[in-house]
Amino acid sequence: MTSNRRDIGLIAALAALLIALALISLVVGQAGLTTGEALRALFDGQGPAGLIVREIRLPRTVLALTIGATMGLSGAALQGLLRNPLAEPALFGAPQSAAAATSLVIAFGLAPVTSFIAPVAGIVGALVSVGGLVLIAGRRASLTITLLAGLALASFAGAMTALILNLAPNPFIALEVAFWLLGSLEDRSIDHLAIALPFFVVSWIALALGARAYRALSLGEDAAVSLGIDISRTRLLVVAGTAVGVGAAVAVAGSIGFVGLVAPHLVRRFVNSDPARVLLPAALTGAVLLTAADILVRIVPAAIELKIGVVTALIGVPFFLAMIFSERRVLEGSPI
Amino acid sequence: MNETIFGAENMSVSLGGTTIVDRASFALRKGECVALVGPNGAGKTTLLRAIAGVETAQGNVKLGEMNFADVAPGERAKKIAYLPQGHVFHWPMPVSSVVALGRLPHADFFTRLSKQDEGAVAKAIAATGIEQLAQRNVTMLSGGEQARVALARVLATQASIILADEPTVSLDPKHQLIVMSLLRQAARDGAAVLAVVHDLTLASRYCDRVLVMDKGRLVADATPEEALSPERLSTIFGVDAVMVDTGEGRVPIVRHPL
């Protein structure tokens, strides 16, 4: 609207930051390549350095970037639909449910992890959970009902995952699933990227199509309908878009949460809280956050590499608590 | 008689199998400010929601020459603007952006405002006297200021029909008068206005015509003095009322419950 120029500035700044982080992500690693060697290997693809950068670091970087963007965008879209800054796929059990469904596939060897079955299972799991949430919370859902329903769904998904680990045919598989659940981008190949990327793109399109509706919804559902918005279609787009994106992300990288909560919050003030204008900056911020977190887990000295899902939760949960604290007046529904 | 913009014959609305609006017949005309009054639960809000396209109505309902059911939501939104009861602002957006939401039905997919849109927004902001608030955060405004912003959003659509559900509720006396006179002005500027009003004095002072609803039926459609006669107020609302001359016309004053 009136602030187009400012939006473009914000988007350009985030894109520049993202490119810088992506390059760092290609350079950082245990192989001991220098920056120059790594960048040269990226372009010529020669020798072992080419293999490392192109086959190992590049897929990892692109996955971090696209998963982060998907999380940031789905958080912003869910927040737009529910008109609530605390909405985030992980609070509604979407990644947990996707994880439960994917662990089932892995633990019982129903399909190899790099087949299309894994993301499809993840998507079905996420769809059940996000769909269930929107169904339970329904129209005019209060924040309390939405969050409680999300808590119930997340807990149920956790219980299902525990059940699957419990019944896993052998302890090694159970351990493998448990580690995978922590969320990581380590050793992901171009195959992982290839199976997830189409789903991400579908999810981005679905979530972005609701932009007009999120803006109208800032006046409430009745006003939005009277402005010509099809609420059922919008709800379907967000449920499907979130489930497809989060489901595919969980299937290739395990459970990575809270990016969807943090990313839109960081940029909202720069777009005057407009729920449509926040979408692209939130997606870019999500990509920035996850790429940065993935660099962090590689440079923190530890005998075992930290799992990125652990890092995002460690940062995300205190952030969530801080948000609850700062918004508690609004949350308590007290007059201003 | 002015041109009829919206005509309903036996318009009914059912919610979950219960008939809430029962065969209402009425017309909304260009340039006319109409009040919809009735006891709680009479079906006023549901009737308004059905005209706004939020609920589905049965019966012979026409928007202009078109069959109402055949009007696409996007087209309907350009012609009918709706201010819901207890208007809400979910995000701390600047007032000007909130008012611009009224142009949403006219905007393209990317919601970029055209010159015409900007003109309509500026006009609505000026009409409601909120120029000073244009850059303020809407959630930080007082109730009276928010009411004016909500009304500006509705005016910005430049719709031929304006629906307002209890626009004066929880406002101080001055803002009640401001909001009612803005609605009347919108009618004078050519819109058909239909407002649910609980304050019978305000309804009779600011509206040209009053529709009285009771138990889902439309029981009166007349001038304020005729529609809000003490006899009708006692049978429909169960209150004892008198007509008082204020020097600016006769208005009903309710005295005590019967």
Tens digit of pLDDT for each residue in A158-196? 999 999 888 888 888 888 888 888 888 887 888 888 888
Q: Which is nearest to B101 in space by CA: B86, B85, B82?
A: B82
Among A26-40, B117-131, B203-217, B223-237, the minimum mean pLDDT is found in A26-40
Confidence of residue A141 (pLDDT cuts 50, 70, 90): low
Asked if A226 lies within 8 A of B53 by C-beta distance, the reply is yes
Arithmetic mean of pLDDT over chain B: 91
Note the helical H segments in chain A.
4-27, 35-44, 47-51, 58-82, 94-107, 117-137, 143-167, 171-181, 190-209, 211-217, 221-226, 231-253, 259-268, 279-299, 308-326, 328-331
For residue B12, what are the β-bridge partners?
B58
Q: Which residues of A touch B78 (CB under 8 A)?
A: 228
pLDDT band of residue A2 (cuts 50, 70, 90) is very low
Residue B178 vs residue A138, higher pLDDT: B178
Residues of chain A whose C-beta is under 8 A from some C-beta in B?
1-2, 4, 83-84, 211-212, 215-220, 222-223, 225-230, 272-276, 336
**Chain A, nearest residue to B108 by Cα:** A212
pLDDT at A199 over 70: yes
Residue B126 has pLDDT above 80, yes or no: yes
Identify the pLDDT of residue A113: 62
Q: How confident is the model at residue B181 (pLDDT cuts 50, 70, 90)?
A: very high
Residue B219's contacts (CB-CB under 8 Å, 6 or more residues apart) are: B212, B213, B232, B236
What's the whole-number mean pLDDT along residues A261-288?
94
Q: How many residues would you count in chain B?
A: 258
Contact present, B197 and B38 (Cβ < 8 Å)? no
Q: What percent of chain A has pLDDT over 90?
A: 34
Please tell me the CATH superfamily of domain B4-257, with its number. P-loop containing nucleotide triphosphate hydrolases (3.40.50.300)
Chain A closest-CA separation from residue B223 CA (Å): 29
The answer to whether B73 contacts A229, with C-beta atoms less than 8 Å apart, is yes
The values of phi and psi at residue B93, to 5°, are: -90, 155
Q: Do the Cβ atoms of A202 and A119 come closer than 8 Å?
A: no
Residue of B80, B87, B139 lying closest to A336 (CB–CB): B139
pLDDT at B97 over 60: yes
- Asked if B84 lies within 8 A of A212 by C-beta distance, the reply is no
Chain B residues within 8 angstroms (CB to CB) of chain A? 49, 52-54, 73-78, 80-84, 87-94, 96-98, 100-101, 104-105, 107, 109, 111-113, 139-140, 153, 163
pLDDT at position B258 is 82
Best residue of A1, A83, A231, A272 to probe chain B, by most B CBs closer than 10 Å: A1
- Residue A29 has a pLDDT of 77
Look at residue A53 in the predicted model and tell me its pLDDT. Answer: 82
Tokens of B180: 């009612």
Structure confidence at residue A37 (pLDDT):
82
Nearest CB to B97; choose among A4, A211, A274: A274
CA distance A220 to chain B (A): 6
> Does B162 have pLDDT greater than 90?
yes
Contact B93 A218 (CB under 8 A): yes
Q: At residue B138, does pLDDT exceed 70? A: yes
* pLDDT at A307 (0 to 100): 87
Q: Identify the pLDDT of residue A140.
A: 58
Q: What is the pLDDT of residue B60?
A: 93
Q: What is the pTM of this model?
A: 0.89
* Contact: A225, B139; criterion CB under 8 Å: no
pLDDT (tens digit per residue) in A91-120? 778 888 999 998 888 888 776 666 778 778
Record: contact A227-B105, CB cut-off 8 A: yes
Cβ A222–B73 below 8 Å, yes or no?
no
Please tell me the distance from the alpha carbon of residue A177 to that of residue A273, in angstroms, as a whole number: 39
Query: What pLDDT score does A329 carry?
Result: 66
Q: Is the pLDDT of residue A80 over 90?
A: yes
Question: What digits encode the pLDDT tens for the residues B213-236?
Answer: 999 999 999 999 999 999 999 999
Instruction: Say yes or no for a CB contact (<8 Å) between A229 and B139.
Output: no
Helix (H, G, I), strand (E, B) or coil at B113: coil
- How far is CA B228 from each of CA A156, B31, B253, rounded to the nearest angstrom? 58, 21, 10
Residue B110 C-alpha, separation from nearest chain A C-alpha, in angstroms: 8
Give every CB contact of residue B173 below 8 A, 6+ residues apart in sequence.
none
Q: What is the largest CA-CA distance in chain A?
A: 66
Can you tell me the mean pLDDT for B200-205? 92
d(C-alpha B108, C-alpha B122), whole Å: 19
Span B53-67, mean pLDDT?
92
ipTM metric: 0.92
> Per the structure block, which two tokens stand in for A37?
């060697």
Average pLDDT over residues A13-22: 95
Q: Which of A108-117, A320-329, B21-30 has the lowest mean pLDDT?
A: A108-117
Tens digits of residue pLDDT in A221-258: 899 999 999 988 888 888 889 989 998 998 888 888 88
Distance between first and last Cα of chain B: 38
Higher pLDDT, A54 or B198: B198
B81 contacts A228? CB cut-off 8 A: no
Residue-range domains of chain A with CATH? 59-326 (1.10.3470.10)
Query: pLDDT digit string (tens) for B62-84?
Result: 998 899 999 999 999 999 999 99
pLDDT at A332: 61
- Per-residue confidence band for A335, with pLDDT thresholds at 50, 70 and 90: very low
Among candidates A1, A226, A273 on the partner chain, residue whose Cβ is nearest the Cβ of B91: A273
Judged by CB atoms closer than 8 Å, whether chains meet at B84 and A273 is answered as no
